[in-house]
Structure formats: structure tokens, C-alpha cells
Structure 1
């Protein structure tokens, strides 16, 4: 007897394997999925500019990356004893102006290479709500705790999001025609915007994605993270203590659905080997000098050496 409905997801015709090079961009849920990819030692770069919640911020980052923008002092500002960029997350902010500029420009250079090399880009949209700096009329990626009176809050329309997604696709394909793009909507609930407003936001994102996909079916894909959370996992036991973010059980389940549909079965055995090594590395022995533990470490080293010889990019 079935006690829930399961969302049908078709297997990808372009699955990921250990030769794939991925770039993951977007909301904090993009980080959740990237942590799984990193755990299993796939080649993945996640959010070089930090978490980016809305499509315009992601588009702007990709535009900077493709055009190889050089950040200068006019692109940053000083607030609360730190230098910031309105185009990047506060994780990148720095008390040293030169250090921030150097870091931003190094990230752009590295990201340009990664997008050109990528076989897959995974883009997670979190919200359609944005903040526009009144003085410059520019939509920002992060407000950096600048007083709210300096911004206007607005909801991106479906048409505006669709134009942004089309621009993202165009920018990526201008430097990498072979890359496969996977869009998904974050299941994280942005309740600070309001309960109704959160659903309105998610609806606009989903509508825009599907309108975009309908005209570019061969190159663009959709993975239903939001729908899995809302339908298959429709219970508060699958949320963290804040009742807004998926908990680890939910993240693991959504990852399993992603694995079943987007990761080649031919690499499942290798994933199991990586998992065994990761669990071995996390093991804490009662007696580190015991003969049994020394044998265990020797066996673990042998397994690592074997995998790294086959996949030199893997680091344990």
C-alpha cells in the first residue's frame, strides 16, 4: 500500500559521471546538493560569489564571468568596517579593500575557465523577490545590512525572469555550446517575504523556467526539487528546526532522486567506494595504535591510492 505519491522523473539522456565537470550556482539549496557532489568526489564548483538567491544575481555573475570583468574600487563600498560588493555574498566581504578586489578578480578568472570546461551547470533559483538600490536603480545580490530605506523591494514578473534565464543560457552557450543546463527551484521557504508572497515568488520562478524550457527542450532541463519537497515530503518532520529549510533527511532524499535520474548507473560502484573511504576517514578508533586499527588504516590508504590513480582530481 502506498501512503504518498511519488513524482515521476525521467532519466536524463546526458547523465553525470566522473568525467563530468559541474558548476553549481544559486540559493543555499544549491550548496546542499553541492555538498553531496563534493562528498562523492565529483568535479564540482559551487557558488564562487557565494549564495545568490535570485535569477538576476546569477545572470549578472555569469555575465561578469563570460566578459571577464575586472573589478575596481568603484565596484565596491565600505560599510560596518568591511568592504563589500553588491554583486557578491557577504562571505566574500573583507576588511582589506585590495584583498577583496584581488579575490573578486581571481574568482572571475577561475570561473571563466570552469564555465568553459563545464559539461553541466546546475542553477537553483531561490526567490523572485529582489532589492533595488534607490540611488543607482540597480538590483543587488546582497544588501550587506545597509539600511533598508536605501532599497525598494519588488517581485520579478514571469516575463522578467524568463528574459533573465534566456540571457543566462545565451551567455553560457556563447562560450560553451555543449554544456547541459539544469534548472531547479529551491524548496527553502522564504517566509520573511510572507507566506502568500513566498508561494507567489516560487510560482513566478517555476512558470518562467517552464516557459523557457518549452522553447529550448534540447539544451535545458528541469529537476523538481521544490515539487519533491512540497508533495513527496509534505510533512514538518522533513524540515529543520526553523521549519523553513529541509532537514538532512529531506536533503538526502532529494539527492537520492537526483542520483536516480541524473547520475549514470555505471559510476554507482565508484560512488560506493568513495562512500566507504569517507566513512573510514570519519572513523574514530578507541586505540589508534592497535594492530587492528593499523591494518584498517593500511587498507584505507590502499583504497584511496587506487581511486586517486584512476581519478587524479580526487582529494581525500
Structure 2
């Protein structure tokens, strides 16, 4: 055997098809959130877009909790685009009204989802932050503004723990049953430099360890360790050699499922993933008897699943 196995015990936290899961953080939060949605779980992905650092994640949670809408005063124009320092460029648009419509509609949907969320999965990407020199505030995205507009620094472990402890406490006051799954993104921030990337990831690990020791509701999933040990070969990375490949994400998703899903959930997940594959099948000759028979069989399979699990009616 030419790899080390990352042993992950079955978690005391069990996620089912009745669970509502909010994912926040880096690109890897989007990877797992997408996997959850593809398997027909109730998942809401990154309402502010991709967030890399712990302060931006904490700020996004505070924004979700304060029920304030964004206004034009929260935006800035750079070139042709209106942007928000709290959001990724996915929300940017050529008019302030369009940017605000994107931001506030997503915010409203996320607040509605959060009110009944069972699990928040937070993926931290880096301990490095950029602070706006005009306001002194950490930004989620620099939106291609000149570097001299920002101060770049690395958060201390204490700062990370303080920021995240604060929002965990706020969230648990509103929903005492809420659980948290933290991961460190396996995506390497190579622009920081090899050593600084390692120090940054180590700071995130130390902070999460402190949170685990402080809150019974905090759980850690070792996606980072799986990527660096079991999947350390470069064939498990995309062409840029920094992001996990589709095969790597599939394997980490498998380990995540084994950790947080019971046998019934795993079996239903398997059936639903097969159903999705069948529904996505595009026949070369759709008008043939064979193709129509296949479509009929798929529809029957879907209806049988809905009969067994009525809650799937709104998801399929």
C-alpha cells in the first residue's frame, strides 16, 4: 500500500435527508454544498459567494442575523462594475440596482433558510486577510482594486477563535440545537508562498481545535488531511496543481458521507444519485421505443421513491 489511510470515526453528528445544511467559506464549501444538492439534500451554498478568511465568514453570519438590507451606500464602483466588499464578484453588476437586487434577494433566501438550519458547514481557506485602509475593515474580496488600498496581514489564532466563537454563540442563542462542521480547505494558497501557506493552514487548524474543545456543537472533518495524505499524488489535482480534481472531491465526499450519514441515509443517497444520473441522461435517439421505455422506467423509479419518502416530492 503506497499511501496512508486517514481514519475517521463515525461522528456523533448524524445528517439525514430531513437536515438543512448551510455551507459557508472557500471553494471547497461549494464543492461539498454542490454534492449535497446533487444528492437532493436540503443545502444552501455560500449566500455571499466564496469567502476565504475567518473574519469574512464571521461577518457574513452577523449580516445574516441582523436583518438589514444592503443599500447603495454599501457598494462602490470600480470601472463599469458596482461591487460589495462583503461579497464575491458573482454579485457585481453594471448598475447599483442590479447588484443590490442580487445581494438582497440572496440574503433574504439565506435568512429564511438559516431560521430552520440544522447544520452549518464552514470551510476556512486562509488566515491571511486584506484590510481596507480607508475603513480598517477586513474585506471578503478586493475586486481588483490597487494593492495600495489594502493592508495585508495574517490573523492570529486568538483572533480567529474570538471571531468564530462570537458567531457560534450568537447562532446557538437563536437555535440551541444548531451544529457546526468545520473543515480546512485542501486548496493551497500558493500566492502566499509555500511557508506562509503552511503557517496559515496551521493557524486555522489550531483555531478549530480550540473551538472543538470549547463547544460540544463543533465538529471537525479532515478534508485537508485526506487531500495531503491519501490523495497526495498530483493526479488528484487540477491542471493548476492547487485545486482538488473532480476525482479527489468525489473521494472526499464519499468519506464525508461515511462519517455523517447513517446506513439508511447512505442507501437513499445511493438511489437518488443513480436517479439523478438517469434523469440527466440524454439519449442520442430520443424517439426510439428503447429510449421511451427507459424514460418510463426512470419516471416509475422516481414515483416509487416519492411513495417511500413523501418529503422528496418537492425536491425531485
TM-score after normalising by structure 2:
0.95
C-alpha distance after superposition, 1:92-132 (max 9, x if no partner): 11112122223322322222222221111100000011101
The match for 2:236 among 238, 250, 253 is 238
Is contact 2:257–2:266 with CA below 8 Å preserved after alignment?
no
C-alpha distance after superposition, 1:127-176 (max 9, x if no partner): 01110111111110000011111111110111101111101211221321
**Residue 303 of structure 1: aligned partner:** 301
Aligned partner of residue 70 in structure 1, secondary structure: coil
Distance 1:266 1:151 in 2: 50
C-alpha distance after superposition, 1:22-42 (max 9, x if no partner): 000000011111111111110
Aligned partner of residue 84 in structure 1, secondary structure: strand
CA gap of 1:312–1:126, structure 2 versus 1, over 3 A, is: same
**Residue 191 of structure 2: aligned partner:** 192
* Stretch deviating more after TM superposition (171-180 or 183-192): 171-180
* Stretch deviating more after TM superposition (244-253 or 103-112): 103-112
- Paired residues for 1:41-52 under 5 Å: 41-52=40-51
CA gap of 1:92–1:308, structure 2 versus 1, over 3 A, is: farther
- Paired residues for 1:70-219 under 5 Å: 70-216=69-215, 218-219=216-217
* Stretch deviating more after TM superposition (78-87 or 170-179): 170-179
Distance 2:240 2:124 in 1: 20
Is contact 1:127–1:202 with CA below 8 Å preserved after alignment?
yes
Distance 2:186 2:79 in 1: 32
Aligned residues: 314
**Residue 60 of structure 2: aligned partner:** 61
Is contact 1:69–1:108 with CA below 8 Å preserved after alignment?
no
Q: CA RMSD in A?
A: 1.4
CA-CA distance at 1:263 after TM superposition: 1.4
> Unpaired runs of 5+ in structure 1?
none
The match for 1:221 among 216, 219, 222 is 219
C-alpha distance after superposition, 1:258-297 (max 9, x if no partner): 0111112112222122122112123232321111111110
